[in-house]
A and B are shown apart, each in its own frame.
Chain A
Amino acid sequence: MTAANNQASRYDPAFANELYSIENGHYIKQCMQCGLCVVTCPARHLMDLQPRKYFKAIQAGDRDRVLKANTPWLCTSCNLCTVRCPRGIPIIDVMHGMKLYLAQKQGVKSAPGALFSKTFFDVMLKRGRQWEAWLTQMYFLKAGPSAIKDALKMMDVAQPMVLKRRLPLAPAKTIKGKSQLKKIYEKAAALAKEGH
């Protein structure tokens, strides 16, 4: 190798193939770079790689950029790109897959979104239902001291919500079938792992 040496990290099929094999990852291959997702995405201005370029970077196996990109964590699940994509890529599902991959790879503390999603899931699995006040507390607790500052910034929003009883501090009901739910989840997670 001479001519290609300086570009060794680009176009790494091994990394591309690794991502193609995650849940819904194979859809990334069929992106044709039309850019409709970019003009659609409400969060595009905050993304360091807008969806089209994000997919291109995956196709190119550009490990550094993909692993650093905040793209999936900004996805709001609004579903508009998924409805519009002319190639039928379920972009929202791809983003779910990427977020799961990144959380597993880099740890849930690597991104606020990963931690929040994981906390949400933990509360939900334990109780069967969500308890929003508890979720909030748990999240900030796990996020550590730096997040407390963020939490304080939110007090002006949280206070009226508590006052208006929209964030009840008393625990919500738990479900009876908690262990049933857990079994279903565990089986599903195992099946999903098998699937790809």
Chain B
Amino acid sequence: MAYTFYPGCASEATGKASFISFEAVVKALDIDCHGEIPDWNCCGATLVANAIGDFAQQAIAARNLALAEKEGKDILVACSSCYLNLAWTNEKMKTDPDFKSQINEALGAGGLSYNASLQVRHLIDVLVNEIGLDKIRERTIKPLEGLKVACYSGCQTVRALRRPDFDDVEYPVMLDRLVEALGATAVPFPMAARCCGGSQQFTNPELIYDLTGKILDCAAENGADVIVTPCPMCALNTDAFQQKIAKLKNKEYNMPVLFVTQLMGVAFDLKPKDLALQYNIVSPYQKLAKYGVKK
């Protein structure tokens, strides 16, 4: 299976580590994913629809689908919010003829059109269902034995299509399987698809403290050493806000938050620069030291 990559805006900033480790893992597993959608634009995240409505946001997201269709390859997305916007728009293009013709009318204003011929796939889906856990197990050089992981799939990852997609909408398990294939232990984590507060850091910070706090508590109560997620927003809230929340709650978490591709990089024994751990705010080095990770 060949893919065109959609990196999303976070890949250039808050989710830089995701982008770097993703590229390294793609190479390590020899995934046929070469190159980004040319001149891709922002998908709209969770915010643009608030300002311009769903339809207009989906038209903006559809520009990426139209550009990708020229490449003729399915779209691979690592960012969960981007996945939701692209996959949901794609789903509507495939199933709602009125929507499709309206979107194409809008795309037409930019000289584009989209025939809904592509699939939009999330990284976790491709890793588990296309590449396969066997291959991941095979590629694992340093099994992460003894590492207890809270697998935080996140909301947007599993509810993009508003129905069971590649995983369960409430209690996802694919990330757990993936982490287990790396030799680590997936601890029970009932908050795996619960909200961290999303993009309300400035508009409703109390909500972030509360919800992300619950995620961190749940991971800690279940004995996790680290949290692993594919979602840049989940990672941002649980990592960057961790100290603040710990202070507010008078707690000590010390819970490094890794992108799933970073953890894979550790198990695959990739080079330190490929792991991009220098971007992590809560330092992961101590917890990963026994797997040969050095600062």
Do A and B touch (CB < 8 Å)? yes
Contact residues of A with B, CB < 8 Å? 23-24, 42-43, 45-46, 73-74, 76-80, 82-83, 90, 93, 96-97, 99-100, 103, 111-114, 116-118, 120-121, 124, 128-133, 136, 139-140, 150-151, 153-154, 156-157, 160-161, 164-168, 172-173, 175-177, 180-181, 183-189, 191-192, 195
Interchain CB contact under 8 A, A76 and B198: yes
Interchain CB contact under 8 A, A121 and B47: yes
Selected from A82, A96, A160, A167, the residue in CB contact (under 8 A) with B13 is A167
Interchain CB contact under 8 A, A114 and B207: no
Interchain CB contact under 8 A, B42 and A124: yes
User: 8 Å CB contacts to A: which residues of B247-279?
Assistant: 278-279
Selected from B84, B162, B243, the residue in CB contact (under 8 A) with A83 is B162
Interchain CB contact under 8 A, A96 and B39: no
Do A100 and B50 contact each other (CB < 8 Å), given the known contacts A129-B41, A160-B281, A184-B110?
yes
Q: Can you offer 15 A-B residue contacts whose CB atoms are under 8 A?
A: A80-B170, A83-B162, A93-B49, A99-B49, A116-B203, A121-B48, A130-B9, A157-B201, A160-B240, A168-B13, A172-B13, A180-B110, A184-B109, A184-B112, A187-B109
Does B204 count as interface, using CB distance less than 8 angstroms?
A: yes
CA distance A53 to B230 in the complex (A): 35
Instruction: List residues of chain A with CB within 8 A of the CB of B13.
Output: 130-133, 166-168, 172
CA distance A80 to B39 in the complex (A): 32
Given pairs A78-B194, A80-B159, A188-B56, 16 additional interface contacts (CB within 8 A):
A24-B54, A76-B211, A78-B155, A79-B159, A100-B50, A112-B204, A117-B47, A129-B12, A130-B13, A136-B202, A151-B202, A154-B205, A164-B279, A165-B279, A168-B13, A173-B12
Instruction: List residues of chain B with CB within 8 A of the CB of A139.
Output: 202
Interchain CB contact under 8 A, B205 and A150: yes
Interchain CB contact under 8 A, A191 and B112: no
Interchain CB contact under 8 A, B240 and A157: yes
Does B102 count as interface, using CB distance less than 8 angstroms?
A: yes
Instruction: List residues of chain B with CB within 8 A of the CB of A191.
Output: 55, 102, 105-106
Do A161 and B281 contact each other (CB < 8 Å), given the known contacts A156-B243, A195-B55?
yes
Does B60 count as interface, using CB distance less than 8 angstroms?
A: yes
Interchain CB contact under 8 A, A128 and B42: yes
Instruction: List residues of chain B with CB within 8 A of the CB of A168.
Output: 12-13
Selected from B45, B54, B84, B110, the residue in CB contact (under 8 A) with A177 is B110
User: 8 Å CB contacts to A: which residues of B57-91?
Assistant: 57-60, 62-63, 84
Instruction: List residues of chain A with CB within 8 A of the CB of B197.
Output: 42, 76
Do A177 and B39 contact each other (CB < 8 Å), given the known contacts A23-B53, A79-B162, A136-B202?
yes
Instruction: List residues of chain B with CB within 8 A of the CB of A173.
Output: 12
Interchain CB contact under 8 A, B195 and A76: yes
CA distance A86 to B15 in the complex (A): 35
Do A186 and B109 contact each other (CB < 8 Å), given the known contacts A23-B55, A42-B195, A128-B42?
yes
